[in-house]
Structure 1
Amino acid sequence: MGTEASSRLVSVTITSICLIFTLSQLGSEFKYQSVAQKLPDEEARALKRVVEKLALNYRISSKGCNKSGKYDIKCECSFQNHTICRVTKITLRASSLTGFIPEELGNLTHLRELDLSNNQLTGPIPASLGNLSSLYKLNLQENQLTGPIPASLGNMKFRVSFAKDHTSHRSMVVSFELDLSDNQLDGFIPATLMNVAVSSVASDPDAYRLFKLKQYDRANVDPQFYLDLSSNQLTGPIPESLGNLTFISFIELYNNFLNGSIPASLGALTYLHVLSMENNRISGSLPQTLGNLTILNYL
């Protein structure tokens, strides 16, 4: 066989192999994409009840959910090998919502962010929100909510992830937000709120692993950890256990009826930037331990 014929045969063989490989890949992709991605029935039912109770003009789809007009209801469809969707975020800020907060929200157990702020919601905060063990952001600010803060909110988690700045410097971001400000909540601040732990689900896997192994530089931690209970009708002392929230950066407790002294345990909160407690019934002097808070810029 001549050299030219041999070259032609090799070329045809390579082309055939490439074609077979390409068709195989396309077939795999088609098979993968043909698998239905849908919400589990119980989650679809819970979401339907939430939509009905809040009178949202929102169409429920068995294949998932996305932003629809001013409503931001987000699903992730990466569960069980990309065959199952879960509701992970609901943002209904300033949507003219009225009535009670639906307790069925507690059945959306993969929810990570819930923002119902700046509405006219009334009644109590459902204890069922404590079922949301991946929740790291809860914003109910500026409503007309009444009753005590549910102790079950201590089941919330914080999230850890990595971020890079313009110099490619990598920091570990600790994210958590509980904002119940500007309501009519009463009763004591539950000590259980200080039980917040890290989330294995919502966190970046590498960041979570290093965090659990304590293999991170504290100087490279970027805490975005907020607790705002201001402008309510809360009574009783400031919990000593507040000093357990190691990564907290903002504490807003002003405009309440809190009494007693400022806990010395707050001196352990070395990431604290803001500590706002004015317009309460707090007595006594400032603890000397607050001198440990070298980055505190508002007291």
Structure 2
Amino acid sequence: MDTTCIRFCALFLFLCFTSLNAQLLPEDEVKVLETISSKLQNRWNVSRASCMQGMGLNTTDPTYRRIVSNVTCDCSFNNSSVCHVVTIQLKGLNITGTLPPEFANLTHLRELDLSRNYLNGSIPSSYGQLRVSILSLLGNRISGLIPKELGDIFTLEELNLENNLLEGPLPPNLGSLSRLRIMFLSANNLTGTIPENFSNLKNMTDFRIDGTSISGTIPDFIGNWTKMDRLDIQGTSMEGPIPPTLSQLKNLTMLRISDLRGEQMQFPNLTGLTKMRRLTLRNCSIFGPIPLYVGAMPLKLL
């Protein structure tokens, strides 16, 4: 057998092996990614083979940690022959335009992070079809109401809508997110009170509504959030008093409450909160002595 024939046979066998072991995106998923790329002018070069070594999708420069363009695939489907996009992170890329509703068509997506861009318009109600565990739209120019449909993302564990132009009341439907651990809503134009349904968010560890116009009193049911590690309620339109149920949050390490309206109140009951590291109770019309047990807290900031 001559050299040319040997090389041809070797190439043929290699192509057959590659074809048998190809890990490809479905054609409809490619079209969705192309549509999103066009709307965001993100310059993806998408093909069915894009998940193989991240070709045409990832452009992150490791020297700039806050600038991220990352798409991750899971190629374990159908005996490792089919890939699906499971993570999209487009952070700090100065992307403009409105939020593409087509993200909702990526049925295997687990994380969508579009932080620190210049996206505007409203959050599409179709995002209620997402099955992500992480949804972050931090630091954009997104306006309008928070759609009640976000409460249908039963897989959601982290919701970050901080530093936008969102307005109106908090949808009670968000109280259905039983897996939710993190909810960041600070620095928006939100109004209304904290819905009663939020009492169901018993896995919450970090809740922040600083710099909003949310009003009413801090609800008693906050004592249900026994896994809470950090609670931020600074610069809102809320009123005192601070509820005694706060003493049930034994895992708190950081508590920040300021600018409560209403009548004077005594120092809140924080006995038993032995993990507290940072405590802010500023401009809350507190009168009377600071309890002695505060001196025993392992505080770094008071």
1:230 Cα deviation after fit: 0.4
- The correspondence for 1:177, drawn from 146, 154, 158, is 158
Q: Is 1:276 equivalent to 2:247 in the alignment?
A: no
Q: Is 1:188 equivalent to 2:135 in the alignment?
A: no
Cα distance between partner residues in 1 of 2:47 and 2:178 = 33
Cα distance between partner residues in 2 of 1:191 and 1:85 = 36
- The correspondence for 2:94, drawn from 83, 96, 103, is 96
TM-score normalised to the size of structure 1? 0.72
- The correspondence for 1:227, drawn from 156, 163, 183, is 183
Counterpart residue type for residue 255 of structure 2: Y
Q: Is the 8 A contact 2:128 2:149 kept in 1?
A: yes
Counterpart residue type for residue 119 of structure 1: N
Q: Is 1:156 equivalent to 2:153 in the alignment?
A: yes
| Alignment correspondent of 2:59 | 69
- The correspondence for 1:140, drawn from 137, 140, 145, is 137
Cα distance between partner residues in 2 of 1:185 and 1:108 = 25
- The correspondence for 1:240, drawn from 196, 220, 229, is 196
Cα distance between partner residues in 2 of 1:63 and 1:283 = 56
| Alignment correspondent of 1:51 | 37
What SS is found at the alignment partner of 1:111? coil
Q: Is 1:39 equivalent to 2:25 in the alignment?
A: yes
TM-score normalised to the size of structure 2? 0.71
Which of the two has greater helix per residue?
1
What SS is found at the alignment partner of 1:38? coil
Q: Is the 8 A contact 2:178 2:202 kept in 1?
A: no
Q: Number of aligned residue pairs: give it.
A: 229
Cα distance between partner residues in 2 of 1:182 and 1:286 = 26
| Alignment correspondent of 1:298 | 255
The CA deviation string for residues 149-187 of structure 1, in whole angstroms up to 9 with x for no partner, is: 11111122448xxxxxxxxxxxxxxxx211100000001
Structure 1, gaps ≥5 residues long: 1-26, 160-175, 199-223
Q: Is the 8 A contact 1:63 1:85 kept in 2?
A: no
| Alignment correspondent of 1:122 | 120
Counterpart residue type for residue 264 of structure 1: D
* RMSD, matched Cα: 2.0
The CA deviation string for residues 14-59 of structure 1, in whole angstroms up to 9 with x for no partner, is: xxxxxxxxxxxxx9xx869714422222211111100000001221
What SS is found at the alignment partner of 1:192? helix
1:89 Cα deviation after fit: 0.5
